[in-house]
């Protein structure tokens, strides 16, 4: 099996590639444009793996996509490629539309064009062989929740930021290719990931980095925004389950069952690092900041037998240890404006 992974030099994508190479003998082709959040250092330990091939390029480049589909006879596309930081989307929405919407459409078009159909009728929905397309999305497309309730796969899309709006638009385009052309697709929507190799502008690595340096830890508003936390390894396991057993056309929510307020999370990190809570520094809240996300993962649990194996206590300790042991990675990656690098969830 030949799998095209886009955005595989980023946080979740690089973890997924390593997971797949550890568990299968598949050929993995990684297409990444290496923007600020993509780093080949995330993949340095597998660059010589005979089952892995890296290509630098943009998912909006249709000529390149066509060449890759032909050269590698792609069976499956797993699309991680995305601009993903909410603050950046508020400052400059245009790049989010280009990568997240137009880039996804380019991938879909390339996938469709490389089918072998039963007839020359372009509307024929019966295929001898297809390219399965898996769209990696986010719970943010659902908007925000009150104090109770959970996002299910039937929850209406109601994005509140330019980032989440671009992801929702991409999801709808993926659905349209399924409904219109019969393209075999799945969409996964996960809660907040954490783990090794996460770009330092995100909440957990940012708090760890600044706490280690005895710097102030910026927290939006009152810090009582609630998020559900999912270890990236559990996320990779879920994508694996969807890739092999997901029913075509279906959406699967993936959650970690670890809801907590941002301020509680920050204090846990400080406690585990032996640092004072006086480092917490509340800053002006983000525009349109969603108050609560919470995922109902019953569908993927029931249909595909997936459930998280990491407890948050275990996962956060492991994550902190990784960043402490890889301080040089943090230093090299820390090319960001820390005045904007706040709790980005």
Task: Name the residue ranges covered by the structural domains of the chain.
Answer: 2-197+229-256+289-310
Confidence at residue 331, expressed as pLDDT on a 0 to 100 scale: 58
140 among known catalytic residues:
yes
pTM here is 0.91
Confidence at residue 177, expressed as pLDDT on a 0 to 100 scale: 96
**Could you tell me which of 21, 56, 59 has the C-alpha nearest to residue 39?**
56
Ranges of H-type helices in 188-335: 203-212, 232-245, 262-273, 298-304, 312-325, 327-333
pLDDT along the chain (345 residues), means of 10: 96 97 98 87 95 97 96 96 77 86 96 64 47 95 94 96 93 97 96 93 92 95 96 98 97 96 97 97 88 96 98 97 88 45 39
25 among known catalytic residues:
no
- Unique residue bearing structure tokens 């330019």: 162
Confidence at residue 116, expressed as pLDDT on a 0 to 100 scale: 52
Q: Looking at 58, 83, 150, 163, which residue is catalytic? A: 163
293 among known catalytic residues:
no
Quick check: 140 and 225 in contact, CB under 8 A?
Answer: no
Q: Looking at 140, 201, 228, 333, which residue is catalytic? A: 140
Distance CA 255, CA 308 (A): 8
Distance CA 288, CA 285 (A): 9
Q: Does the 2-197+229-256+289-310 domain belong in CATH 3.40.50.11290? A: no
Q: Looking at 83, 139, 228, 234, which residue is catalytic? A: 139
Q: Angle at the Cα of 194 (from 96 to 297), degrees rounded to 5?
A: 85
Confidence at residue 337, expressed as pLDDT on a 0 to 100 scale: 44
């Amino acid at each position: 099996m030949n799998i095209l992974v886009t955005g595989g030099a980023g946080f979740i994508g690089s973890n997924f590639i390593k997971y797949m190479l550890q568990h299968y003998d598949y050929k993995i082709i990684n297409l990444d444009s290496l923007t600020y959040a993509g780093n080949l250092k995330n993949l340095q330990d597998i660059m010589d793996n005979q089952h892995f091939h890296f290509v630098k390029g943009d998912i909006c480049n249709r000529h390149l996509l066509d060449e890759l589909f032909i050269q590698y006879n792609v069976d499956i596309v797993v699309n991680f490629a995305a601009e993903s930081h909410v603050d950046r989307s508020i400052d400059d929405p245009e790049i989010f539309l280009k990568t997240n919407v137009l880039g996804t459409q380019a991938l879909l078009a390339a996938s469709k064009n490389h089918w072998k159909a039963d007839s020359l009728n372009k509307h024929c929905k019966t295929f001898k062989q297809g390219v399965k397309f898996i769209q990696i999305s986010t719970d943010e497309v659902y908007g925000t929740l009150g104090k109770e309730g959970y996002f299910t796969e039937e929850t209406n899309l109601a994005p509140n930021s330019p980032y989440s709006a671009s992801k929702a638009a991409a999801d709808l385009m993926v659905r349209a290719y399924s409904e219109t052309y019969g393209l075999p697709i799945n969409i996964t929507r996960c809660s907040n990931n954490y783990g090794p190799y996460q770009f330092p502008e995100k909440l957990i690595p940012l708090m760890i980095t600044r706490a280690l340096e005895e710097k102030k830890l910026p927290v939006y508003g009152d810090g009582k925004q609630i998020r559900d936390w999912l270890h990236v390894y559990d996320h990779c396991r879920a994508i694996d389950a969807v890739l092999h057993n997901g029913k075509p056309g279906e959406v699967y929510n993936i959650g970690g069952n670890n809801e907590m307020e941002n301020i509680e999370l920050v204090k846990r990190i400080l406690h585990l690092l032996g640092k004072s809570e006086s480092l917490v520094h509340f800053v002006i809240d983000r525009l349109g900041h969603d108050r609560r996300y919470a995922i109902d993962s019953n569908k993927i649990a029931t249909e595909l037998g997936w459930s998280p194996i990491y407890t948050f206590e275990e996962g956060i300790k492991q994550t902190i240890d990784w960043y402490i042991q890889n301080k040089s990675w943090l230093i090299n990656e820390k090319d960001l404006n820390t005045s904007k690098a706040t709790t980005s969830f």
